Amino acid sequence: MSIYFSMRLSRRRKLLWVSICLVAIPIAAFAIQEISFKPGFNLYTPQQDVQLGGQNAAQIEKQMPMLRDAAVEGYITKLGRKLASYAPDNLPVYVWQYHVVNTNDINAFALPGGYIFVNRGTIVAAQDEAQLAGVIAHETGHVVMRHGTHQASEMAIARAPLSILSGILGSSGSVAGNLAQIGLGFGVNSIFLHNSRGIEAQADEVGTYILYHAGYDPHAMAQFFQILQQKYPQQTIQFFSDHPNPGNRVKAVDQEIPLLGPPRKWITDTPEFESIKRRVESLPGPPPARH
């Protein structure tokens, strides 16, 4: 082999290596990091989550006005189940039932086992489907991280010695009855409806993960919370009481998104959302608030 040919071959190899490196740089810049979400300490089984959530949901439906509209409920259910299909730690036992509360207050909440309630006012306040999906994804995070029964477990231990607690939880009575014995009630004042800042931060993280993998703009969730604070201060008092702000949500979401993968062509809005929003706005107003 001539020296000239050898030099040309060496140069080609170098050019090939440089080309490979240049192609690899964008991939490395958006390398997907394996993100692990782990539910906290819990005395209850996922099956008991479903039982508790169902019993509490029945109480909520008696205490709060519900929007019984098949089109609206169908849309929320379809959107919610789509998002749940991308949730980490989504167990087959979860029921994923969705309900719309007939009130202009802007709020949403999740009960153990997959029972999610979205207020009518939240649908109207959302500017696009991605923002509404962000709210539901956040609540889905509460379910799969089992935040409700995690908090109930911590309160139960604080209120009863383990020797007594094991007897109560292991008795043949209903799970709801067992909770009542240690002073954890049901309904609108349930422990399941009040969260800590740490729990909210984790629900934001899981919600961001869900939105990204479902194809929605993951920034939309944090943007919606900002809109609430700026545009609807009076209508969101209950929301931020139940969902204390964990800090700079926008910054936290911005930091998480690159770990999930490269940017995509995000879904922001759909004709279905706009149609349902117009339908909700055209329905008779909600009943007067109970005092």
Say what the pLDDT of residue 156 is: 76
Q: Is 249 a domain residue? A: yes
Among the ranges given (100-104, 152-156, 206-210, 241-245), the one the predictor scored with the smallest mean pLDDT: 241-245
Say what the pLDDT of residue 31 is: 39
Q: Is 40 a domain residue? A: no
Under the banding of pLDDT at 50, 70 and 90, the label for residue 169 is: low
Q: Is 92 a domain residue? A: yes
Say what the pLDDT of residue 137 is: 98
Whether the Cβ atoms of residue 41 and residue 150 lie closer than 8 Å to each other? yes
> In terms of pTM, does the model score above 0.85?
no
Q: Is 290 a domain residue? A: no
Say what the pLDDT of residue 22 is: 38
**Angle at which helices 249-260 and 197-214 pack, to 10 degrees?**
40
Q: Is 32 a domain residue? A: no
Q: What is the residue type of 81?
A: R
Q: Which of 113-127, 157-171, 197-211 has the highest mean pLDDT?
A: 113-127
Q: Is 83 a domain residue? A: yes
How many other CB atoms sit within 10 Å of the CB of residue 184?
Answer: 18
Under the banding of pLDDT at 50, 70 and 90, the label for residue 6 is: very low
Domain total of the chain: 1
List the alpha helices (DSSP H) in the chain: 3-29, 46-63, 70-84, 120-125, 129-144, 147-159, 162-169, 175-181, 197-214, 219-231, 237-242, 249-260, 271-282
Is residue 9 predicted with pLDDT exceeding 50? no
Domain range holding 247? 46-282
Is residue 291 predicted with pLDDT exceeding 80? no
Q: Is 8 a domain residue? A: no
Q: Is 39 a domain residue? A: no
